[in-house]
Amino acid sequence: MIHVAIYNEYIHERESECVAAVYPQGIHAVIADFLRSDEIDVKCFTLDTVNEITDEELKTTDVMIWWGHKRHDAVPDEVAARVRNAVQNGMGIIFLHSAHHSKPFKFLMGTCCHLTWREDGDMERVWTVRPAHPIAQGIGRYFELPHDETYGEPFGIPEPDEVVFIGWYEGGEVFRSGCTFHRDYGKIFYFQPGHETFPIYYDKNVQTVIRNAVYWAKPAFRLPDLTCPHVKKPGEE
Amino acid sequence: MIHVAIYNEYIHERESECVAAVYPQGIHAVIADFLRSDEIDVKCFTLDTVNEITDEELKTTDVMIWWGHKRHDAVPDEVAARVRNAVQNGMGIIFLHSAHHSKPFKFLMGTCCHLTWREDGDMERVWTVRPAHPIAQGIGRYFELPHDETYGEPFGIPEPDEVVFIGWYEGGEVFRSGCTFHRDYGKIFYFQPGHETFPIYYDKNVQTVIRNAVYWAKPAFRLPDLTCPHVKKPGEE
Amino acid sequence: MIHVAIYNEYIHERESECVAAVYPQGIHAVIADFLRSDEIDVKCFTLDTVNEITDEELKTTDVMIWWGHKRHDAVPDEVAARVRNAVQNGMGIIFLHSAHHSKPFKFLMGTCCHLTWREDGDMERVWTVRPAHPIAQGIGRYFELPHDETYGEPFGIPEPDEVVFIGWYEGGEVFRSGCTFHRDYGKIFYFQPGHETFPIYYDKNVQTVIRNAVYWAKPAFRLPDLTCPHVKKPGEE
Amino acid sequence: MIHVAIYNEYIHERESECVAAVYPQGIHAVIADFLRSDEIDVKCFTLDTVNEITDEELKTTDVMIWWGHKRHDAVPDEVAARVRNAVQNGMGIIFLHSAHHSKPFKFLMGTCCHLTWREDGDMERVWTVRPAHPIAQGIGRYFELPHDETYGEPFGIPEPDEVVFIGWYEGGEVFRSGCTFHRDYGKIFYFQPGHETFPIYYDKNVQTVIRNAVYWAKPAFRLPDLTCPHVKKPGEE
């Protein structure tokens, strides 16, 4: 069983009628719905319950999914640090869309994580750059989202380990829409689609990518906690 | 003085009137013209003189620029191997456009170097992904080419050391248009713009990028030739 | 079932008594023995049968293992090119020890693949640099080989995707002993231990690493053959 | 003129006689001495003056050098964040030895930055892995330090952009002793030699490496501050 925990700040859906129309139970509910299966169970957290993301919880979480936008600042530094530490100790994590500016993502990247953006509801075409990557399985040469928020380069991230997808936008931008990183024992996937005003997370291709990413990011092995040990000479131990 | 050698197969310009109209003296002549300066001298080779690309020549070349398309196969394997070896020993090299399928590029990459392509004369917008890179200096957020051949992903290259530019095409594709690689002592830059039927190499931004790439790729130091030596224990030498 | 093909040039074992004493049936026989299982079947090729490594054979091979030393030159270019192409199309490959100078490895790297070497039978200690990597599972902080040929830096390879192991030698050298690369759809692992005069391939840790690498390198998906297609505009297809 | 700022916590030298014997004016004084030249000026900060590392100061700093060990925790988070931000905006930075656990390094890496360590005064041999790298110029195949603290793998860093040096220790460890990273506009070099009880920073090779790294890390261009702008469609701007 893969234990997934979703964090969604869950503000837009309660404050904006047009978002509520798309995600009446919250973005997390839609993601949880398509992920839940015989092999995956899902637990959800929102900004209201963000402090329940404890070290205990994280220890039993295989993969976390993070969606935030308006209140990145309201996530306590200690919670973000716990999430970063859990990733370093092997938990996988998937950052969606505007989570590029979330604290855990910035803590893990070490860069500004800025990008340029436009809200014109452009059509986005997401191109597969690495067809052999496990995250791209079941995705063809590209897939289209009729409307998405436009994200543009430069995207302030370290050179990714792998660029799996690049997005093309009707209005003229490009964006590295699917990128992987490793931090100590943990795997990280950033995936750009997902504006709250569009039904992105109902899209079959988006769902396939996120599900693939869960399988890819789950820790394959339980390793000892990271430490900085004073050691003896090899052989004297 | 930076010693640049340009290889252009120089066939399209002599066989096709519409190409000759754009590049009457050949693509190499236009590139040589804008590169030549107090700091850069330029020598040109074509398919007719490809065998003059000897080890001797390459030893005094700092940066090579390669353009080919129709007759990659007519470049002898030995010449391509010499070029590869020169790069390994520190010569910089810039591959332009359809040189993605040239023998030296394929020898240096180890991948298939395939891509998808369309010849509809799409407008291309080239986005700067790494603004701090020396090759991007003087280029703004993006520049536009009114017409270019469309190249699309997946591009069959190893994950580049740095993706400096990504191209956006009017008709819907994206492409990693500016990529760097290192092979032993040598630096490599692949730059996608450049179809023979369009005046791409007269474009000021394209010229800036190629000139920047020459400065970036030139070897900073002369190092001993690469060998695989049988050594003594450190200290016994 | 994972289909493994081993190539071992099989010359040392037939020409040298001291090698024959360690590997009476050839290095390939020992590797085949410890790999064969309910999940892995193994086929072997030697220099005598190298031309039997056909495209047909490679199409049904999941992972190839390559050992060569004295007669890299005797492997026909066409065979090496077939192996390279198979890797590009998704076959995994593991290069052992002196295969750093084999044609397929050099074709895939694009670098000189040189290193420095000493044959003093030094003790080697192989350190795990990425403990979370699937190839390192079951290996502790390090393992020791009482005697191995010493390989030293600089190792003429592109910056690896991942450095999994680094070797330490009694006499004073270091070496990136376990490195991964990707070329198109295919995964590559280079593993340094393995001199023919020492019983390296009987070592349990070495066997664990090679077995892990087989599982890691096997293609996860069957993808269409690589091509360079002329395409229509997205949407017109 | 390259403006260098050195931070040294400057505690060991004032608390320990044996350290004071090696660095009577502090480690920073020795580094400042060998760096100062017609092309480089140097300013120093210690833990006592760490709050003077303001945004103003950092704006006029080209390259920072960081040495800390006992009181990483005493560097305020805001100061560390300023340093991180300055790197993102283009300032180069060199982290020495035990600065692997400093706040700015951890903020920039996103990993745990742990390592294993021994204080037996082992001889260290530092091997050049990338001889063509500007930081390795003037360094031969290797250099030796008669006594250094031993650092061992695994080193908890992201896969470096370039591994320039690997250290070998008499007692049996290896360590990626010279590594480069990029974070947004800024260049980072980590260099392992440097224990406070040994005269490491008087060593000519160590000085050459640090001086080379200053030239390598200095920002080549002044770029606009990083932002996350809401943009108009290309062409409408």
Count other Cβ atoms within 10 Å, centred on residue C118. Answer: 21
What percent of chain D stands above pLDDT 70?
A: 100
pLDDT at B17: 96
- Using CA atoms of D66, D165, D194, D63 in order, give the dihedral in degrees to the nearest 10: -20
> Which chain C residue has its CA at the smallest distance from B232's CA?
C118
**Tally of domains in chain A:** 1
What's the average model confidence in pLDDT over D195-206? 96
Residue A84: inside a domain: yes
Q: Share the mean pLDDT of chain A.
A: 97
pLDDT at B236: 84
Residue C175: inside a domain: yes
pLDDT in tens, chain C (237 residues): 999 999 999 999 999 999 999 999 999 999 999 999 999 999 999 999 999 999 999 999 999 999 999 999 999 999 999 999 999 999 999 999 999 999 999 999 999 999 999 999 999 999 999 999 999 999 999 999 999 999 999 999 999 999 999 999 999 999 999 999 999 999 999 999 999 999 999 999 999 999 999 999 999 888 999 999 999 999 886
Q: What residues in B contact A162, CB-CB < 8 Å?
A: 159
Residue C115: inside a domain: yes
Q: Share the mean pLDDT of chain B.
A: 97
Q: A49: exposed, middle or buried (C-beta count within 10 Å: 0-12, 13-18, 19+)?
A: exposed
Residue D184's nearest CA partner among A143, A156, B76 is A156
Residue A159: inside a domain: no
Please give the structure tokens belonging to residue B76.
């002898």
Residue D237, pLDDT above cutoff 70: no
Q: What residues in C contact A137, CB-CB < 8 Å?
A: 220-221
* Alpha carbon separation from A5 to A85, A105, A211, C79 (Å, rounded): 15, 16, 13, 49
> Minimal Cα–Cα distance from C235 to chain A, Å?
10
> Minimal Cα–Cα distance from A232 to chain D, Å?
7
CATH of residue C58's domain is 3.40.50.880
pLDDT at C36: 98
Answer yes or no: are the C-beta atoms of B39 and B2 closer than 8 Å: yes
pLDDT band at D161 (very low <50, low <70, confident <90, very high): very high
What percent of chain A stands above pLDDT 70?
A: 100
Could you check whether the bond before residue D154 is cis, i.e. omega within 30 degrees of 0? Answer: yes
pLDDT in tens, A163-208: 999 999 999 999 999 999 999 999 999 999 999 999 999 999 999 9
Give the domain extent around B83: 2-111+178-217
Q: What residues in D contact A229, CB-CB < 8 Å?
A: 116-117
Taking the model in full, what pTM does it have?
0.98
Please give the structure tokens belonging to residue D200.
């490491």
Nearest to A234 among C125, C185, C221 (CB): C125
Residue B78: inside a domain: yes
Residue B76, pLDDT above cutoff 80: yes
Residue D229: inside a domain: no
CA C40 to chain centre: 17
pLDDT at C237: 63
> Which chain C residue has its CA at the smallest distance from B122's CA?
C233
pLDDT at D221: 86
* Alpha carbon separation from C184 to B103, B111, B114, B157, B192 (Å, rounded): 17, 6, 10, 7, 19
Q: What residues in B contact A172, CB-CB < 8 Å?
A: 125, 168
Q: What residues in A contact B130, CB-CB < 8 Å?
A: 154
The C-alpha atoms of residue A129 and residue C182 are separated, in whole angstroms, by 14
What's the average model confidence in pLDDT over A4-26? 97
pLDDT band at A70 (very low <50, low <70, confident <90, very high): very high
pLDDT band at D235 (very low <50, low <70, confident <90, very high): confident
What percent of chain B stands above pLDDT 90?
A: 97
What is the H or E stretch that residue C57 is in? Answer: helix C55-59
> Which chain B residue has its CA at the smallest distance from D134's CA?
B220
Please give the structure tokens belonging to residue B155.
């591009």
pLDDT in tens, B174-202: 999 999 999 999 999 999 999 999 999 99
Residue D153, pLDDT above cutoff 70: yes
**Contact check, Cβ <8 Å, A166/B167:** no
Which of residues D221 and C189 earns the better pLDDT score?
C189
**Contact check, Cβ <8 Å, C220/A137:** yes
> Which chain D residue has its CA at the smallest distance from B219's CA?
D132
Residue B237, pLDDT above cutoff 70: no
* Alpha carbon separation from B69 to A46, A64, B76, B201, C52 (Å, rounded): 56, 48, 15, 16, 34
In sequence order, what are the residues at sequence separation of 6 or more whose Cβ sits closer than 8 angstroms to the Cβ of residue B78?
none
Q: What residues in B contact A127, CB-CB < 8 Å?
A: 152-154, 173-174
pLDDT band at B222 (very low <50, low <70, confident <90, very high): confident
In sequence order, what are the residues at sequence separation of 6 or more whose Cβ sits closer than 8 angstroms to the Cβ of residue C229?
B116, B117
The C-alpha atoms of residue D217 and residue D180 are separated, in whole angstroms, by 10
Q: A73: exposed, middle or buried (C-beta count within 10 Å: 0-12, 13-18, 19+)?
A: exposed
Residue A18: inside a domain: yes
Q: CA B215, B220, B225: angle at the middle one, nearest 5?
A: 125
Q: Name the neighbours of A, counting chains with at least 3 Cβ pairs within 8 A.
A: B, C, D
Q: What residues in D contact C173, CB-CB < 8 Å?
A: 127, 168
The C-alpha atoms of residue A59 and residue A41 are separated, in whole angstroms, by 15
Residues in B lying within 8 Å of C, measured between beta carbons: 84-85, 88, 101, 107-112, 114-120, 152, 156, 158-159, 161, 171-173, 181-184, 226-235
The C-alpha atoms of residue A85 and residue A90 are separated, in whole angstroms, by 9
Residue A62, pLDDT above cutoff 80: yes
Question: Would the CA dihedral through B6, B108, A180, A83 be positive or negative?
Answer: negative
Mutate to test the interface with B, among D221, D223, D226, D233 (most CBs of B within 10 A): D221
Residue D143: inside a domain: no
- Using CA atoms of A170, A176, A180, A183 in order, give the dihedral in degrees to the nearest 10: -130
Nearest to A221 among C137, C142, C219 (CB): C137
The C-alpha atoms of residue C3 and residue C40 are separated, in whole angstroms, by 6
In sequence order, what are the residues at sequence separation of 6 or more whose Cβ sits closer than 8 angstroms to the Cβ of residue A116?
A151, A152, A153, A154, A173, B141, D228, D229, D230, D231
Strand A116-128 to strand A142-152: parallel, antiparallel, or no bridges (unpaired)?
antiparallel
pLDDT in tens, D9-43: 999 999 999 999 999 999 999 999 999 999 999 99
Which ranges of chain D would DSSP assign to H, the alpha helix? 12-15, 17-22, 27-35, 55-59, 77-88, 103-109, 204-217
Nearest to B168 among A116, A141, A173 (CB): A173
Residues in D lying within 8 Å of C, measured between beta carbons: 116, 125, 127-131, 141, 152-155, 159, 161-163, 166-169, 172-174, 176
